[in-house]
Amino acid sequence: MKNLKASGIGYHLLALAVVAVWGVTFVCTKVLIGAGMHPVAIFFIRFVLAYAGIWLYIALSHQNAKLWYGWKEEGIFLFLGITGGSLYFLTENLALAYTQATNVAFLVCSAPLFTAIFTLIYKRFGKGRFADGLERIRLGWPLVGGTILALTGMALVIFDGARLQLSARGDLLAIAAALCWAAYSLFMGQMAREYGTVTATRKVFFYGLLTILPLLGGYRESFSLAILSQTPVWTNLLFLGLVASLVCFILWNLVMDKLGNVTSTNYVYLNPIFTLLTAMALLGEKMTLLAGLGCAAILAGVIWAGQRGRDARSSRA
């Protein structure tokens, strides 16, 4: 076990497991929207469950939970709660209401590319602990070539011509979600290192809920007993809240701390594979030969993009 952790393989496996769960969430959210729930209500219930769960974990583990860390630090947590919580999930969930789940998965998976670009810029022009805490990356062929190959693979998966349905509104919202996640990735790793993954995650949940409250009005039908009592609805909500949000956010923040913001975010490229597999199992969709080739290209691209040299992964100075 020590060798596994020392080599970093354990954290790579954690990243893969989290991304697998997140790939399934696109289909889960699509099911909830189809049942009559509004995207804002889905996020609210999901994060309420996660926030309650993390406080239960804190109580059971007898941890000290400090509520206030000063205006500057709370401002950073607020930013993370918006970019990694309310605004990210609002744009992603709304995108699912306007376009296919696979389209959203493809466009949200551009987050690693935006993360790399944001990191290069912030490392170049930023100062202080956040700039120092980011991975040192080089804009070389592994990163560029791997990104292009992975994007090409996702294009083969999504745009294979079998069920091509595009919505400009949904596509733009999905791109906005990817930009939010890239911004979140710039700062979350450092905050998790300084305050611990549980505290950082708790703060993201709190500020995510706080900033979504103004948008809750007018969606009473989403909270009706008729909808919430449906088995597909409450089971998907529990999965999204307790597994995809609570457990996966804690694990992902740990992964970003150990692997770095760019290396960890590259795993997001695998989202469409798990989304497609889930859609095949639950919705009866078929995988074409072109889609299969696309999945292989995505996997190869992720591996290639991660080969940036030992100094790039280990140094954050």
Quickly state the pLDDT bin for 211 (edges 50, 70, 90). very high
Is the pLDDT score of 310 beyond 50?
Answer: no
Range among 4-13, 93-102, 237-246, 252-261 with highest mean pLDDT value: 237-246
For residues 240 and 171, the model is more confident at 240
Quickly state the pLDDT bin for 268 (edges 50, 70, 90). confident
Is the pLDDT score of 212 beyond 70?
Answer: yes
Q: What is the pLDDT of residues 188-201, one digit of tens each?
A: 888 988 898 889 98
Of the listed ranges 40-49, 190-199, 272-281, 283-292, the one predicted with least confidence: 283-292
Is the pLDDT score of 229 beyond 80?
Answer: yes
Query: What confidence score (pLDDT) does residue 236 get?
Result: 93
Is the pLDDT score of 210 beyond 70?
Answer: yes
Of the listed ranges 85-94, 96-105, 139-148, 305-314, the one predicted with least confidence: 305-314
Task: Please give the full DSSP string across 179-244, using - where no structure is assigned.
Answer: HHHHHHHHHHHHHHHHH-HHHHHHHHHHHHHHHHGGG-TT-GGGG-HHHHTSHHHHHHHHIIIIII
Query: What confidence score (pLDDT) does residue 245 get?
Result: 82
Per-domain residue ranges for the chain? 6-314
End-to-end CA distance of the chain: 28
The percent of residues above 90 in pLDDT, for the chain, comes to: 19
Query: What confidence score (pLDDT) does residue 183 get?
Result: 93
Query: What confidence score (pLDDT) does residue 139 get?
Result: 67
Looking at this protein, which amino acid is placed at residue 223? F
Quickly state the pLDDT bin for 86 (edges 50, 70, 90). very high
Of the listed ranges 42-51, 167-176, 232-241, the one predicted with least confidence: 167-176
Query: What confidence score (pLDDT) does residue 157 get?
Result: 62
Is the pLDDT score of 265 beyond 90?
Answer: no
pTM (2 d.p.): 0.78
Query: What average pLDDT score do residues 141-152 get?
Result: 78
Residue 44 CA to residue 211 CA, distance in Å, equals 10
Is the pLDDT score of 264 beyond 90?
Answer: no
- Is the separation of the CB atoms in 264 and 316 below 8 Å? no
Whose CA is closest to 297, among 157, 160, 140? Answer: 157
Is the pLDDT score of 88 beyond 80?
Answer: yes
Query: What confidence score (pLDDT) does residue 315 get?
Result: 41
Beta-carbon contacts of 186 under 8 Å, excluding residues fewer than 6 positions away, are: 115, 118, 119, 122, 130, 134, 261
Quickly state the pLDDT bin for 91 (edges 50, 70, 90). very high
